[in-house]
Each structure stands twice: as structure tokens, then as C-alpha cells.
């Protein structure tokens, strides 16, 4: 037997602990939480998805000058994503009709023909795209053990099965409701698209004995229709969120990387090395008219609303460090 969790009125603040939901003082009739038997059948939050990605790649490496090496390539991809699922409205209607003795397949066909009854997908294509991804890599030898590298490539970020669905998933701890990107609203068409990314990198590097390395890089990335999880303005509650394509974005920054042997401390430490990198990042997203209106509506007195902001979830800096041991004689052969 399965149970669904429902609430009388607004959910309390659980303090980040899910077990608080099951305390006696929180359960009906003492509190706002009560259980209902089972989910709708079919379950509106259950879905299946498949991906088919067919591709081909061609590249060529050559030296247009004595110190210059070039690698040119292009990749062709035909990406198809299919989805089987339904929204809450369709699931409730299907369940009610099946309980009345109707065949489930005929009910699903009825819903697919009349979207006022809800939305049903049966192995339908939700994403079908043919893309070309070019790449250019140039390596120029400045001096012995020193290189200058330039690269350009186009990449892509595609929606997940969950993002490209009609699922509505409640997190009772954070009190947030996730709505799949296929749901339509007055300011959202339900057409969640891929994010196409142009990447440019310039890197200077110097190699030294014992695997030592020093490099400095600059990078720039341009995002066409990046996907972010945003709050739904017209939802019945203020805690409903949905993945959507937002305004175009840019990310740029610099990275410093090193790998240094510890033999400068003591010669017998030549098998040990320290390494690390530091990345400084600046990100910019063009705010959509919908988001700009929402920000203006909640603007505080004296606050200035910009038409750009940082990319959601993008850290302004990243630091990594490591200690490594490298030996060619870890094992001894006994004969």
C-alpha cells in the first residue's frame, strides 16, 4: 500500500528535517498533515523516457607552419528524446474513467484528442534536433616546453527527462513544488529547448621536469537560451518552480594552474608533488521582460534594477588543490 501526503492549509517550517512530518503533534487531527491512500493510477509523477543520439565525426590534423599545429573537426548529431507521461489533470480523469469500467487505452486516446482533459504523452517526441558542432584547436610552440593554445568549439546542454515532462513533484522539506517544463503558462509556451554554447579558450603553458606544469588561461562562453529553474509567477502558491529557457548568457574568466615537485624541499621528496588551480569567473544573464517586471514589482525604495544578473548557480571563484605521489616501482616481482 502506498500513501500520499496532504496538508490542511500551508505547510509548517520543518526546519530541514523530514522526520518532523511524522511526529504525532503534526499528524491529523493534532496537526495539518494527513495521509491519503495511494497515488492516482496512472501516477502523474511517473514517467518514462528514451534518448536516441546518432552522430558522425570528421577531423584533420595538420601543420600550416613550422611551429603551428592545427586540429579541425566537425561533429554531426541527430538527437531524439521521447517521453511517456501525463499531468495531474489527465491522471485524475483517466483514473475516474477506468473506475467506471472504461478501457484505459480508449480513455488515453480521448485525452490526447481533447487537451482540455489534460495532457498525455505516449512515447511522443519532445525533442528532435539535428546539430553541427565545429571545433578548432591551434597549438603554437613558443619555445622548448612552452605552448600557446587557442580553441573554439560549439557544445550543447539538453533538458533532462524530468525537466522535459509534465511531472509535478512536491518536496515536503523545502515546501517547493517542481513543475516540468512542458506545462504552459501565460508567460511560458511549454517549449523547453536545448542550450547551445560557444566556447573560446586561450592558454599559455610551460612544462618542466618531473611532470611540473605552469599555465594561465582565459576563457569565454556564450549561452543561447540557457536553462534555469525559475519561480512561477502565476502559480497558486509562491513556491512553485519550473525549468525554463531564460535570456542569453555569457561566462568569462581566467584560470591559473600549477603542478610543483617537492624536491626543492628535500631531494628524496621528488616523487611527491602539489598541484592546484584557481579560477575567477564572471557570469552575465540578460534578464527577460517577465523577470524584469517581477523585479520591478518587488523593488525596494532606492533600489536600482539592472537588466542583467549573474547566472544562477555560477560560483565567482573555484579553488582546487591536491597532493600526489608518483612511483614506477610500487611492486617488486619475485622469481
User: For 73-86, what is the mean pLDDT?
Assistant: 96
Residue 38, by phi and psi: left (phi above 0), alpha (psi -120 to 50) or beta? left
Higher pLDDT: 264 or 335? It is 264
- Name the pLDDT band for 236 (thresholds 50, 70, 90): low
- pLDDT at position 158 is 96
Sequence-ordered list of residues with C-beta below 8 angstroms from that of 259, at least 6 positions apart, any chain: 211, 212, 213, 214, 273, 274, 275
DSSP per-residue letters across 242-258: EEEE-S-EEEEEEEEEE
User: For 280-299, what is the mean pLDDT?
Assistant: 86
Q: Which three cell numbers stand for residue 151?
A: 580553441
- pLDDT at position 333 is 52
Taking only the tens place, the pLDDT of each residue in 10-50 is 677 777 777 877 788 778 777 777 666 555 667 778 889 99
- Name the pLDDT band for 152 (thresholds 50, 70, 90): very high
- Whether the per-residue pLDDT at 226 is higher than 80: the answer is yes
Cα 217 from Cα 150, distance rounded (Å): 10
Task: Kindly report which listed range (141-150, 278-287, 325-334) carries the lowest average pLDDT score.
Answer: 325-334
Taking only the tens place, the pLDDT of each residue in 180-191 is 999 998 889 999
Higher pLDDT: 17 or 100? It is 100
User: For 218-231, what is the mean pLDDT?
Assistant: 95
Sequence-ordered list of residues with C-beta below 8 angstroms from that of 92, at least 6 positions apart, any chain: 40, 44, 118
Burial of 246 (0-12, 13-18, 19+ CB in 10 A): buried
Higher pLDDT: 175 or 164? It is 164
Q: Which residue has the cell 528524446?
A: 81
Buried (b) or exposed (e) across 288-302, using 16+ Cβ within 10 A?
bebbbebeeeeeeee
- pLDDT at position 46 is 85
Give this prediction's pTM.
Answer: 0.80
Cα 182 from Cα 85, distance rounded (Å): 11
- Whether the per-residue pLDDT at 279 is higher than 70: the answer is yes
- pLDDT at position 335 is 47
At 109, give phi and psi (nearest 5°). -60, -35
Rounded to the nearest integer, the mean pLDDT of the chain is 88
Question: Which SS3 state, helix, strand or coil, does residue 112 take?
Answer: helix
Q: What percent of the chain has pLDDT over 90?
A: 56
Q: Vertex 316, ends 311 and 322: CA angle to 5°?
A: 130
Do 138 and 150 form a contact (C-beta atoms < 8 A)?
yes
Task: Kindly report which listed range (137-141, 178-182, 266-270) carries the lowest average pLDDT score.
Answer: 266-270
User: For 58-77, what is the mean pLDDT?
Assistant: 96
Of 27, 16, 255, 141, whose CA–CA distance to 8 is shortest? 27
User: For 221-246, what is the mean pLDDT?
Assistant: 88
**For 76, which DSSP code?**
E
User: For 44-65, what is the mean pLDDT?
Assistant: 93
- pLDDT at position 1 is 46
Q: Does the CA dihedral 207-211-217-219 come out positive or negative?
A: positive
Amino acid at each position: 500500500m502506498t500513501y500520499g501526503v496532504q496538508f490542511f492549509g500551508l505547510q509548517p517550517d520543518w526546519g530541514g528535517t523530514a522526520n518532523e512530518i511524522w511526529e504525532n503533534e503534526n499528524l491529523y487531527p493534532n496537526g495539518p498533515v494527513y495521509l491519503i491512500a495511494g497515488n492516482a493510477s496512472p501516477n502523474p509523477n511517473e514517467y518514462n523516457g528514451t534518448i536516441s543520439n546518432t552522430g558522425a565525426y570528421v577531423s584533420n590534423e595538420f601543420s600550416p607552419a613550422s611551429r603551428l599545429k592545427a586540429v579541425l573537426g566537425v561533429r554531426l548529431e541527430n538527437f531524439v528524446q521521447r517521453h511517456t507521461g501525463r499531468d495531474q489533470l489527465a491522471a485524475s480523469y483517466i483514473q475516474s474513467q477506468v473506475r467506471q469500467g472504461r478501457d484505459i487505452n480508449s480513455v488515453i486516446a480521448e485525452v490526447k484528442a481533447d487537451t482540455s482533459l489534460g495532457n498525455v504523452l505516449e512515447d511522443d517526441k519532445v525533442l528532435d534536433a539535428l546539430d553541427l558542432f565545429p571545433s578548432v584547436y591551434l597549438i603554437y610552440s613558443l619555445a622548448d616546453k612552452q605552448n600557446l593554445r587557442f580553441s573554439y568549439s560549439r557544445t550543447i546542454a539538453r533538458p533532462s527527462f524530468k525537466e522535459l515532462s509534465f511531472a509535478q513533484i512536491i518536496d515536503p522539506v523545502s515546501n517547493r513544488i517542481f513543475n516540468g517544463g512542458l506545462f504552459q503558462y501565460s508567460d511560458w509556451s511549454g517549449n523547453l529547448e536545448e542550450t547551445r554554447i560557444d566556447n573560446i579558450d586561450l592558454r599559455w603553458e610551460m612544462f618542466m621536469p618531473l611532470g611540473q606544469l605552469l599555465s594561465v588561461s582565459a576563457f569565454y562562453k556564450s549561452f543561447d537560451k540557457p536553462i534555469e529553474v525559475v519561480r512561477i509567477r502565476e502559480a497558486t502558491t509562491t513556491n512553485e518552480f519550473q525549468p525554463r529557457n531564460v535570456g542569453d548568457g555569457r561566462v568569462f574568466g581566467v584560470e591559473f594552474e600549477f603542478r610543483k615537485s617537492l624536491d626543492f624541499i628535500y631531494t628524496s621528496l621528488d616523487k611527491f608533488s602539489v598541484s592546484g588551480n584557481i579560477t575567477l569567473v564572471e557570469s552575465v544573464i540578460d534578464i527577460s521582460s517577465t523577470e524584469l517586471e517581477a523585479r520591478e514589482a518587488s523593488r525596494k525604495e532606492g533600489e536600482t534594477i539592472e537588466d542583467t544578473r549573474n547566472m544562477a548557480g555560477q560560483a565567482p571563484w573555484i579553488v582546487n588543490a591536491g597532493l600526489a605521489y608518483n612511483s614506477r616501482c610500487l611492486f617488486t616481482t619475485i622469481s
